[in-house]
Structure 1
């Protein structure tokens, strides 16, 4: 999977390995592969590629409880067998080339593999490793054109004309990986799909429609429609392995359509009948699987809880890139099981620094200390004289009604104001709430802008420039711009 678009993704909340392993064992295709692995024995015959002999497919299908009258039963059995072989649930010995003449077909043998025991005796992680191997097989199969396309591409000699088929294995695999990455991003991003299904046209359009395009052209709509139908077939294949929950495209809708699905394809998310175009969502197991593939591809795809055993410096650096809710979830897991006094002291120490990320680290530190009780007070009091943390400490103590807290000097007040606004800008950008915060922080200080430009904070000029753009009072905004110029002139280039 490509790491180009989103080198760092929002953190995902994963179920425990034990819960995910149960989900994996319950996935229909994986469960069938396990059953066939247990069925394999001395009488099981396989071909040159390890595939089941054709005359054994009915018995395999019967073992799986499939209806032999169903023409697809042999295909289901063959797919489950391929998964069993690829994951190591079955060991095959292919037929030897003994130079035998004639048309007599030669067969190899099969037996349960060593990894089959892991299904019942292995740790949850062992089961998940087997499932990930099965997922690789299914994803590879899903990137292959369907049988009708292959038949249409046969040349006069019965060989597949790949130029006519217009199929590039690498391109198809990359396309499917990109779709799954987009589905993952929609699922883990706050305000995105969350636990809701995603319309199939939205996923198709995310891969086809160029950024910034207004009304898609007819040519683009046709590409989206083609991609949507390809995804419809692929998600049908991915559902049995437990990766997704999928509602296919309504066949009646396709029968009614005259050519591409026109404007509805790109705008289906707003249509009351959007479900007719197909809906897909990643399962909890699917989130685990796509994240595992992303990590293997070098994408930074964090999971909530993975910082629990790391130091406060790693915690604050990481959650500085998270949304507020995701940061809170990670902080709560980090705090669980730690003694409050030691945790508070470690957090405060990690919050120091005059680098660009310092303000946001201190904001996340303040967030982490918010639920702390009286046990944390000594650690907080110990930094009252710290130029970077003294303001934060006073806010924490004041919120708890603690007395005998020395009032901050003006320099600390101004420094804390700059630090607070810099943190908010780093966390959320120029939000609608930020001008009100600016007005609140400056309203009670006469001559604020005459003093604040002198503050020894690396973000002073940057913050004043933002205030010059955003402050709701025009006179104050003008003063902020003048102060920003002074601050910028004061600092060496």
Structure 2
């Protein structure tokens, strides 16, 4: 591992330098008004001058620092991420940072089609097929002919299009898309630079081979385990994980994530989180914790969605190194109450009476009366069902009666 970590540090050296520069600069970098997360022109020029890099090198370092977790952006301002603090002494953190960049290769080097270029859906299919190409490179244990990779890519894209009842792609765009994917993987350090004497072959670097081996191992473990759901939808996988203890559940999340591109996996988890099942909402964000920094841009984008906001705020705070108690302070009282009701709905649907009563006792309000008043005002769509379930579960007749009355008032719109 130390040898691999040295390679990863060398690959991300400019990104780490830029992250430290951001940390030393008063006020951080990337002020409000940069929703595309690009470094503003003035700061780009300043960073290039002080670090002795070109503007292009700074742009590349900026993207790599964000994708690897060396820089985090909160409320429009960039600052060093927790991974930078561990950069010199924690080889595991370094390797995970590089793997985050490796997983996001298509974001680090996006495909830029010219006029009449391939359908974006086809580009997405090439990204989805990339893990199989990398697996072939790993299993071959040496250089592989580009023609062999192209044949595999054509086969996989054809399978995907058949599964989705889509027509074959017009023309022959796959050679150009394969060239892009191979160059992007080379640029993040997963493939060796092309040998001028053997330009028709490609091979994995030591870092690339290790990363693919880790992912293949995760997939094999999941396939052999009793809960292997890596080929199923996010919703099916999360439902299956609901009955697991935290350790096996995280292993299930990792295996499921390893079997698909990180971007589409994050999007699918967030879509499940938008659904009506509060338990799946919480589990989706647990799975996103396994993703870590690569999920940060997508989670930050849903902060203003009322259903997801409390979860997203806590997730982002924890990613930034805050503990659960400190993170909870970032929620308004109304948001905390909404989250309490949402969690109660999950317990009511999937737990038992004891857990539901315990959840009532964990409310931040000082009394049942105060809790009921705030719960009635928060507007959660499951409020009535939660109050009815609490009334049925609570052993104290007076408290149960108060719950039933509050449920009736919410149902009838009484104030």
TM bucket (normalised to shorter chain) is 0.3 to 0.5
The alignment's TM-score, normalised by the length of structure 1, stands at 0.32
Higher relative contact order, chain-length normalized (CA < 8 Å, sep 6+):
1
Q: 1 or 2, which has the higher helix percentage?
A: 2
TM-score scaled by length of structure 2 = 0.38
- Specify the structure having the higher radius of gyration (Cα): 1
